[in-house]
A and B are shown apart, each in its own frame.
Chain A
Amino acid sequence: MTEPTGRLAAHGLSKRFGPIAAVEGLSFDVEPGQVTGFLGPNGSGKTTTLRMLLGLVRPSAGTAEIDGVPYAALRRPASVVGAVLEARGFHPARSARRHLLACTAAIPVPDAAAEEALQTVGLAGVADHPVGRFSLGMRQRLAIAVALLGDPRALVLDEPGNGLDPEGIAWLRTFLREFAQRGRSVLVSSHLLAEMEQTADRLVVINQGRRVYQGGLAELRSSAGPRVLVRCAAPARLAEALARSGITEIDSLPDGRLGVAGADPVRVGDTALAAGVAVYGMELERVDLEQLFFRLTAEQHRDGTPAPAVDPAPAVDPMRQWAPR
């Protein structure tokens, strides 16, 4: 038996609930040594995907593998993957310690692991209180404690930031980064990019059950390309001229300027000159990630056409596929 690596992979995962396709043909992988952010708006299928990965929900199609085998085939799953799924998974009358001790018995690991986990998440002082009296943040911490009991190679967390106070979020971020730095893998879902920006090395972005991006956070940032912000005499005429020359990604900014993506200042200046529009100033601006995330997930595919699956590849300019609505 080789040492577990904590590598997670989804191949063509799909899940239908009646007529509703929650997840469709989703593939991605999670490598050790990194924090992988699993990003998508609420209702985009993140929870269903994570539960398929963990063998709690049966996929309608596709497979999910941990260390190359389905979750159910793991010999000691708690020593391979620790999962933080929901803060409500506790009997309200059972104390935190008793909850952990039921888990240590089942895994099985020595009961000392429960005390250690309580220390790690900072709940040792309230370990004998019934969980029903815990705040949402304390329950999240307890869920993390449960996940740590088996000393797993990988952590899977579903929206762990929910209910945590800023201090708790900072603690969680540090904790996950250190966990990954020890060569273990982390898959953490969120609907907030800001939460991921300081935590994740890689991103898997999904929308409506389909993957719209997989790759490094740095690559996503650089793939965005700069925008040219133009202050000019007649924004509408310039926009028209730009559109005629094939540049369609143009936003009107609140301050009256135009934000032009997919063009450099030279081309914008030449087009303005040709259109006879006076230019008062130009500035290069990097698109921030929040905006990118919004573009990635704003697409509504009510007609059922597949969302563009965008992966960083040097030959393709991903921006072309992220046409605004």
Chain B
Amino acid sequence: MTAQLGAELRAELRKTFSTRLWWALGIPVLVLSILYNLFGALFAGLDDGPASTLVPLLSLAYTMVLTSVFAAVAGIVGAAGEFRHHTAATTYLITPARGRVLLAKLALGGLVGALYAVAAAAVGVPAGMIGTGRLADPGLMLGLVGVGMLIGALWAGIGAALGIAIGNQVGALVSVLIYLLLVDRVLALLLSSAESEAVAALAGYLPGKAADVVVYGFLADGLAMPGLGRRLVEEIATVRYPPQWWVALLVLAAWTVVAAGLGWLVGARRDVT
């Protein structure tokens, strides 16, 4: 079993890195990361107060959230591309156990998602140092990259699973992006405006918002600024009563399992014609 999944992983690795997609999608990640961290740092450099520490950290946190969207896109395009280019037949002929193909794609998506987070940080942090002239809280920055890798990997996995479940590449892309950039936010807004605290707290459990809570929650916990922590998450992630960042991480992992289940159910039954 392990040896066989190894074969599928190697195959997915070769498929992923034999087309331009992975680095073509990586370019906007790098560009946006440089711009965001540079301009964030230039603002922060204007004063010597707490902002000079906080803003570069916030810029990096935002970069990690943004990167996870590109990770999701990479996961979708990679997985649904098998149907678009009709290579799924060959893949399933060699590996009729479609669940194993799904797992290998989840893993590869995760690898690419984590890679994007590392790459974004690798250019974003130096760009920020150009602005402020120093490295703000290296430990916390490293931690942010860590959680960024995790949410990037999970969202790429969700993308891969939904790419298999939906099959149509454009359809999968459009629906996931509309959900992530619009529906998730509107839902969070509606939930947050509820009277009941329990209902309002649900916003932090949505798949998109959960990723925000992970990153900003982690940052808030790491800042030695009492009272700022929860307000930071509430203000920036616009989530009331957010869960702990590690709870949100587990929630996102659970959403990934749900997406994988969907991909398995639909993908295993699909006629490949």
Q: Does A21 contact B (CB under 8 A)?
A: no
Contact in complex: B89, A85 (CB < 8 Å) = yes
Query: Which chain B residue has the least Cβ–Cβ distance from A73?
Result: B96
A150 to B90, CA, bound (A): 13
CB distance from B145 to the nearest CB of A (A): 30
Query: A14-54: contact bitstring with B at CB < 8 Å (1 yes, 0 no)?
Result: 00000000000000000000000000000000011001001
Q: Answer yes or no: B15 CB below 8 A from chain A CBs.
A: yes
**Minimum Cβ distance to chain B for residue A162 (Å):** 15
Kindly name the residue among B15, B20, B91, B95 whose own CB sees the greatest number of chain A CB atoms within 10 A.
B15
Choice from B18, B90, B91 contacting A95 with Cβ under 8 Å: B18
Contact A106 B96 (CB under 8 A): no
Does A108 interact with chain B (Cβ within 8 Å)? yes
Among the stretches A2-10, A86-94, A281-289, the one at the interface with B is: A86-94
Q: How far is the CA of A88 from the CA of B85 in the complex (A)?
A: 7
Task: Chain B residues near A47: list those with CB within 8 A.
Answer: 273
**A106, B86: Cβ atoms under 8 Å?**
no
Q: Contacts A51-B273, A56-B271, A106-B10; is A77 near B93 (CB within 8 Å)?
A: yes
Q: Counting CB contacts under 8 A, is A231 at the interface?
A: no
A56 touches B87 (CB 8 A): no
Contact A108 B271 (CB under 8 A): no
Cα of A89 to Cα of B271 in the assembled complex, Å: 15
* Interface range, A side: 35 or more
Tell whether A57 is near chain B: CB-to-CB under 8 Å. yes
The answer on a CB contact under 8 Å between B96 and A72 is yes
- The reply to whether the CB of A98 lies closer than 8 angstroms to some CB of chain B is yes
**By the criterion CB–CB under 8 Å, are A102 and B272 in contact?**
no
**Interchain CB contact under 8 A, A108 and B273:** no
A88 close to B86 (CB less than 8 A): yes
Please determine whether A105 and B92 come into contact, CB atoms closer than 8 angstroms. Answer: no
From B16, which residue of chain A is reached at the shortest CB distance?
Answer: A102
CB of B212 within 8 Å of the partner chain: no
Greatest chain A CB density within 10 A among B8, B93, B95, B269 is at B93
Q: Which residues of A contact B95 (CB under 8 A)?
A: 106
A108 to B18, CA, bound (A): 18
* Complex: chain A residue closest to B6, CB-CB: A108
Whether, in the assembled complex, A83 has its beta carbon less than 8 Å from a beta carbon of chain B, the answer is yes
Whether A93 touches B20, Cβ cut-off 8 Å, given contacts A86-B86, A102-B14, A105-B11, is yes
Q: Are A106 and B8 in contact (CB under 8 A)?
A: yes
A86, B92: Cα distance in complex, Å: 14
If the complex has contacts A72-B97, A95-B18, A146-B90, are A105 and B85 also in contact, measured as CB distance less than 8 A? no
Say whether B19 contacts A56, CB under 8 Å.
no
Q: How far is it, in angstroms, between the C-alpha of A57 and the C-alpha of B18 when the chains are bound?
A: 28
Chain A contacts for B10, CB-based, 8 A: 105-106, 108
Tell me if A101 is interfacial: C-beta within 8 Å of chain B: yes
For A58, give its contact among B11, B20, B271 (CB under 8 Å): B271
Chain A residues with CB under 8 A of B269? 58
Inter-chain contact B273/A106, CB cutoff 8 Å:
no
Interface status of B94 (Cβ within 8 A of chain A): yes
A74 at the interface (CB under 8 A from B): yes
Question: Which among A71, A103, A106, A146 has the greatest number of chain B C-beta atoms within 10 A?
Answer: A106
Residue A122 interfacial (CB < 8 Å):
no
Please name all residues of chain A whose beta carbon is closer than 8 Å to the beta carbon of B13 when the two chains form the complex. 105
Q: Residues on A close to B: CB < 8 A?
A: 47-48, 51, 54-58, 71-72, 74, 77-78, 81, 83, 85-86, 88-95, 98-99, 101-103, 105-108, 146, 150
Report which B residues bind A (CB closer than 8 A): 7-8, 10-11, 13-15, 18-20, 81, 85-87, 89-97, 269, 271-273
CB-based closest 10 A-B pairs? A106-B11, A98-B18, A105-B10, A56-B272, A108-B7, A105-B11, A102-B14, A89-B86, A57-B271, A72-B96
Contacts beyond the supplied A51-B272, A91-B87, A107-B7: 13 A-B pairs with Cβ under 8 Å: A55-B93, A56-B89, A77-B96, A86-B89, A89-B90, A90-B85, A92-B85, A93-B19, A102-B11, A103-B94, A106-B10, A106-B94, A108-B10
Q: List 6 A-B contacts (CB under 8 A).
A: A54-B93, A56-B93, A78-B93, A83-B93, A92-B85, A106-B94
